[in-house]
Amino acid sequence: MPSMSTRVARAQGVRGLEPLGQGLARPGVTARLLAVLDNFLSEPMRHAPGEELGRARVLVGANVVLLLCNVLFLLYVPRTAFPLTLTGVGAVCAVGFVASLVLLRRGRSSRLPGMVLCAMLTGGFAAAGLRMPDPHVGTHAICMLIPILSVYLLGPRTGFVFAAMGALGVGLVLPLWHGVGTGLWARAFFAALFILGAWALSWLILAARDQANLALVRALRSLRENESKLTSLLDNTEDIVCSVDADGRLIAANPALEEMYRELIGAELAPGDFLFPERAPERLRRRWQEASAQVLAGKRVRFEASPSRLKRPRVLDISLNPVFDVAGRVVGMTVFGRDITDRKEAEARLGEMHRSLLDVSRQAGMAEMATGVLHNVGNALNSVNVSVNLLSERLHQSRVPGLKKAMDLMASHGADLGAFLTADGRGRQLPSYLQALASQLIGEREELLDEVRTLQKSVEHIKSVVSMQQEHARFSGVVERLELTALLDDALRLQAVSFERLGIQVKREYTEGMLVKVDRHKLLQILLNLLSNARQALVESGRADKQLIIRVERMAAERLRIAVQDNGVGISPEDAPRLFTQGFTTKKDGHGFGLHISALAAAEMDAFLSCTSEGRGQGATFTIDLPISGEESRA
């Protein structure tokens, strides 16, 4: 059973490729006249295509009119002095016209009846012209029917045969038969010329009509194809589609709406019905009236609905759009409905997954925080370990035991201390020994104090890292104005011992007194990571001329760039894009957190951490581009 959209399209669309006017209702006299003409036709002829049906109707009319004229002529001839042979001509023509009507009643085509009609008309006119005493009768205006009817009924080529025969009979045979003077020849010539001209004009009219019909056929075919595509689209879509007029009566609907309508209302939907009649649920009908009132006011309305009467719970996205005429008045509306149940369920699942991801990301953030603490504390502990080892070594090499020996020697000679210091050789050397020992102990004390200060700075950095992570709820730590070169020297001092032991030459290319406003411990954390990576790269390279350059330069009025350049193993081009990604590392014992954490810390200071390298074995340069004032926008 065809869908409602198909039935409505067929009822309102174009019927096949019939010419304009075919299949439409014709009121009054025209409809009755065509009905009478159709009574003379056979059943196949009545259902013939429009052009063939039109020719058959014209053929019926021409036969009937000519037959009536022929009957009147037969009644008129006996009362005149015309030759009786004209009665025979009229009788033959009458029989031919009746035969044409019989063929139309029983046949399937109008061509043979048309041939009979044209033959009777051409032959009868020629015979009448030859038998009439007045030769001018042969040039009567009725001769124009020959080319007109023959071209329309039989086509230009076959019609030319009858037109040529008529022109030849009128223009040549008739003057020769009567043998009258030049006046008849002139009239006969012009009559023949007019017959051929009528044929040519009829041909042009028929050709123009065919071209127009061809264009119409193409337009109708395109319209029918587009109509078929649209109907197929509406029938096969799962979305609800329908159109209603301004009174709320249905114009067309697709099967999806019909099926849902049966579930909601419990009845079939037909064109012309109200979309939501009185038997529809009150709440649904009231909502439809409110929405349709807004649409008829020229507004688009969109809402979601979940009808409870449906067999399967569904959520529908309903869209109502006004339809305007050429004057801009709202004459109806279109209704589109899409089942978004799956999307709603997916959104619910997505929301649940989002909440789960928040929990996971919170745990991941805690893990990353702990990893950052361990990494940064580990870097500081390396310096602490170096300082502790140096302190232990210096204490083991201390001259303090020599002081104890000197004091024991003086205690053993307590009774004769004066004689011992003046007469004994060892006693005389004791004051100078004590003086030299005091100088050495003072030097050791200063060295140990310097190393203790370095140890204190490392411990302070560890405390700062732990404190920052404990107070991670704040966006950043304390921002202070400090001398950048002093901070660089502190970072180098924390790594100085390991640099000296590994034979790394450190070159400073900056001037003192450069002030910046930054978070001291975040910048120190980044510098320590970069220096540690540079030291490992230089050790891995195995070069004898290990060199590390620290450079500071002003890039713009409010920005500085710190560059840490080494001539170590370098970075390959394929590794460069992933260098600051969490977990990525090129070291055998690396964990891939240092550069990632450094990049995050730089971003928190409105700074930018980057790296350049010409490839493996060519060294690398890490740069920190940071604002001087510490207040520049991240954008």
pLDDT in tens, 517-558: 888 878 888 888 888 888 888 888 888 889 999 999 887 777
Number of compact structural domains in the chain:
4
350 domain residue, yes or no? no
Q: How far apart are CA 631 and CA 610, in angstroms?
A: 21
Same domain, yes or no: 217 and 246:
no
Domain end call among 185, 210, 229: 229
| Three state DSSP letters for 600-635 | HHHHHCCCEEEEECCCCCCCEEEEEEEECCCCCCCC
For residues 321 and 333, the answer to whether their CB atoms sit within 8 Å is yes
- Provide the pLDDT for residue 22: 43
pLDDT tens-digit readout, 182-236: 567 777 788 888 888 888 888 888 888 888 878 888 888 888 888 788 777 777 7
Number of helices (H), then strands (E), in the chain:
19, 12
Q: CA 445 from chain center: how many Å?
A: 76
3-state secondary structure of 480: strand
Whether 25 shows a pLDDT value over 50: the answer reads: no
When pLDDT is averaged across residues 432-459 and rounded to a whole number, the result is 79
Same domain, yes or no: 193 and 61:
yes
Sheet with 316-324, side-by-side order of all strands: 250-253, 240-245, 330-339, 316-324, 301-305
206 domain residue, yes or no? yes
477 domain residue, yes or no? no
Other residues' Cβ atoms within 10 Å of the Cβ of residue 537:
22
Strands 547-556, 505-509: pairing is: parallel
H or E stretch at 408:
helix 400-412
- Provide the pLDDT for residue 136: 66
More confident of the two residues 597 and 564: 564
429 domain residue, yes or no? yes
Which residue from 117, 102, 107 is spatially nearest to 46, judged by alpha carbons? 107
Q: 516: which residues sit within 8 A by CB, 6+ positions away?
A: 481, 482, 484, 560, 626, 628, 630
In this structure, the dihedral spanned by the alpha carbons of residues 125, 128, 132 and 135, taken in order and rounded to 10 degrees, is 30
3-state secondary structure of 109: coil
**pLDDT class of 469 with cuts at 50, 70, 90:** low
Same domain, yes or no: 29 and 175:
yes
351 domain residue, yes or no? no
More confident of the two residues 477 and 214: 214
3-state secondary structure of 203: helix
When pLDDT is averaged across residues 6-35 and rounded to a whole number, the result is 53
Q: How far apart are CA 114 and CA 100, in angstroms?
A: 7
Same domain, yes or no: 154 and 121:
yes
Q: How far apart are CA 401 and CA 408, in angstroms?
A: 11
When pLDDT is averaged across residues 22-50 and rounded to a whole number, the result is 76
What's the chain's average pLDDT? 78
Q: 53: which residues sit within 8 A by CB, 6+ positions away?
A: 22, 41, 45, 46
CATH number at residue 570: 3.30.565.10
Which amino acid would we find at residue 141?
A
For residues 380 and 528, the answer to whether their CB atoms sit within 8 Å is yes
Q: How far apart are CA 389 and CA 261, in angstroms?
A: 88
- Provide the pLDDT for residue 17: 39
For 278, the token pair is 């009185």
633 domain residue, yes or no? no
pLDDT tens-digit readout, 314-352: 888 889 999 998 888 899 999 988 888 888 888 888 878
Whether 20 shows a pLDDT value over 70: the answer reads: no
Alpha-carbon separation of residue 521 from 66, 291, 376, 495, 512 (angstroms): 118, 63, 11, 16, 20
Domain end call among 470, 504, 529: 470
Alpha-carbon separation of residue 123 from 90, 143, 448 (angstroms): 11, 11, 145
pTM: predicted TM-score of the whole model, two decimal places: 0.41
Same domain, yes or no: 388 and 447:
yes
The region of weakest confidence among 44-58, 215-229, 360-374, 546-560 is 360-374
Same domain, yes or no: 57 and 144:
yes
Which residue from 11, 355, 17, 431 is spatially nearest to 213, judged by alpha carbons? 17
Q: How far apart are CA 397 and CA 614, in angstroms?
A: 47
When pLDDT is averaged across residues 273-282 and rounded to a whole number, the result is 77
3-state secondary structure of 24: coil
When pLDDT is averaged across residues 419-444 and rounded to a whole number, the result is 77
Same domain, yes or no: 200 and 56:
yes
3-state secondary structure of 309: coil
Q: How far apart are CA 337 and CA 190, in angstroms?
A: 74
CATH number at residue 246: 3.30.450.20
Share of the chain above pLDDT 70, in %: 83
Whether 359 shows a pLDDT value over 70: the answer reads: no
End-to-end CA distance of the chain: 65
Q: How far apart are CA 40 and CA 54, in angstroms?
A: 13
Same domain, yes or no: 386 and 458:
yes
Domain end call among 197, 213, 229: 229
151 domain residue, yes or no? yes
Angle, in degrees to the nearest 10, between helices 111-131 and 145-154: 170
Same domain, yes or no: 108 and 213:
yes
The region of weakest confidence among 136-140, 362-366, 572-576 is 362-366
Tell which phi-psi region holds residue 248, choosing left (phi > 0), alpha (psi between -120 and 50) or beta: left
Same domain, yes or no: 72 and 184:
yes
DSSP 353-403: HHHHHHHHHHHHHHHHHHHHHHHHHHHHHHHHHHHHHHHHHHHHT-SHHHH
Where does residue 113 rank: exposed (0-12), middle (13-18), buried (19+ CB within 10 A)?
Answer: buried
Same domain, yes or no: 224 and 255:
no
Whether 307 shows a pLDDT value over 80: the answer reads: no
Q: 235: which residues sit within 8 A by CB, 6+ positions away?
A: 3, 5, 6, 254, 255
Whether 24 shows a pLDDT value over 50: the answer reads: no
Which amino acid would we find at residue 254?
N
Same domain, yes or no: 68 and 197:
yes
218 domain residue, yes or no? yes
> In which domain, by residue range, is 505 found?
496-627
